[in-house]
């Protein structure tokens, strides 16, 4: 066995063995996907949980600011006391020979090996497993041949604006046009992330910002992130309160809020997504926007 494998006390597991285990059930085995949340959300091995490979997560684990068991309980909602074996996979790693100690997979395996007796790495990662056993993978793959014209958001149950931070709400066009709702939540600024949603007459021009983006797989929202953050910060510093909205408060405005949370709370795109998703479960930024959030993360 290679020296690196001995150091981590990790075994190598081939795709055929994992497939047999999945078909027989994994009551005592924890299967961990160590890729980004975007990759995991696109497609992953059945029954796997995601520990996203962000710089922030790696730093927290390296500095022992959080234990691997805490991550599994709080981020993945796993009761790890019930698990005897852990299997980890990334995108395409064959083995650990030559793997840098700064690599997220290396850090993760080190922490898992100190907490569990039986830790294995899936050889070839997700790419190889999916090519061999596509029926044992699940997820939602983006359809890139969608029309470039913006498609209206599907209506969702009207739950009112959602508080993301004390000075920041995420809502829909319907929320913004209900003046009583706006006054109830003491919202006095509006950030509109659409081309077509009109500005309510009662909102002063000085309290309004339009970010003209369509919700499709070609639109670029990334160039607007700085302006979005600048506007929300201005509201915060003036002790005001802003609602960010599009048609339904699902994709464009959710992406804007995630970008702000990344900057304001120093979170990775994955962690910021989860933060906003926990507040407003109906959010669903399109894959194009999720990819641009990953671009933004590299600049922070």
Give me the active site residues, please. Answer: 246
Burial of residue 17 (number of CB atoms within 10 Å: 0-12, 13-18, 19+): middle
Residues 164 and 280: beta-carbon distance below 8 Å: yes
Q: Which residues contact 295 (CB under 8 A, 6 or more apart)?
A: 222
The Cα–Cα gap between 100 and 204 comes to 55
The Cα–Cα gap between 117 and 120 comes to 10
The Cα–Cα gap between 168 and 165 comes to 5
Per-position DSSP letters for 164-177, written without gaps between them: EETTEEEE-HHHHT
């Amino acid at each position: 066995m290679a020296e690196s494998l001995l150091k981590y006390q990790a075994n190598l597991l081939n795709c055929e063995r994992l497939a047999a285990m999945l078909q027989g059930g994994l009551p005592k085995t924890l299967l961990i996907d160590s890729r980004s949340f975007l990759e995991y959300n696109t497609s992953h091995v059945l029954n796997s949980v995601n520990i996203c490979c962000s710089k922030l997560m790696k730093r927290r684990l390296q500095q022992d600011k959080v234990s691997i068991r805490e991550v599994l309980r709080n981020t993945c909602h796993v009761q790890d006391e019930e698990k005897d074996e852990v299997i980890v996979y990334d995108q395409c790693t064959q083995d650990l020979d030559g793997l840098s100690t700064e690599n997220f997979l290396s850090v993760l395996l080190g922490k898992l090996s100190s907490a569990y007796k039986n830790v294995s790495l899936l050889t070839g990662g997700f790419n190889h497993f999916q090519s061999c056993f596509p029926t044992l993978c699940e997820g939602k793959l983006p359809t890139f041949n969608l029309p470039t014209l913006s498609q209206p958001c599907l209506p969702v149950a009207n739950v009112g604006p959602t508080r993301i931070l004390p000075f920041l709400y995420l809502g829909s066009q319907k929320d913004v046009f209900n003046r009583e709702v706006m006054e109830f939540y003491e919202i006095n600024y509006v950030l509109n992330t659409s081309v077509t949603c009109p500005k309510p007459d009662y909102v002063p021009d000085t309290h309004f910002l339009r970010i003209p983006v369509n919700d499709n797989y070609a639109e670029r929202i990334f160039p607007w992130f700085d302006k979005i953050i600048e506007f929300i910060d201005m509201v915060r510093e003036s002790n005001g309160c802003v609602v960010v909205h599009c048609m339904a408060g699902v994709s464009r405005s959710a992406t804007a809020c995630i970008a702000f949370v990344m900057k304001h709370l120093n979170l990775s795109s994955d962690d910021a997504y989860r933060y906003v998703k926990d507040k407003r479960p109906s959010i669903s930024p399109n894959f194009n926007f999720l990819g641009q959030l990953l671009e933004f993360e590299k600049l922070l």
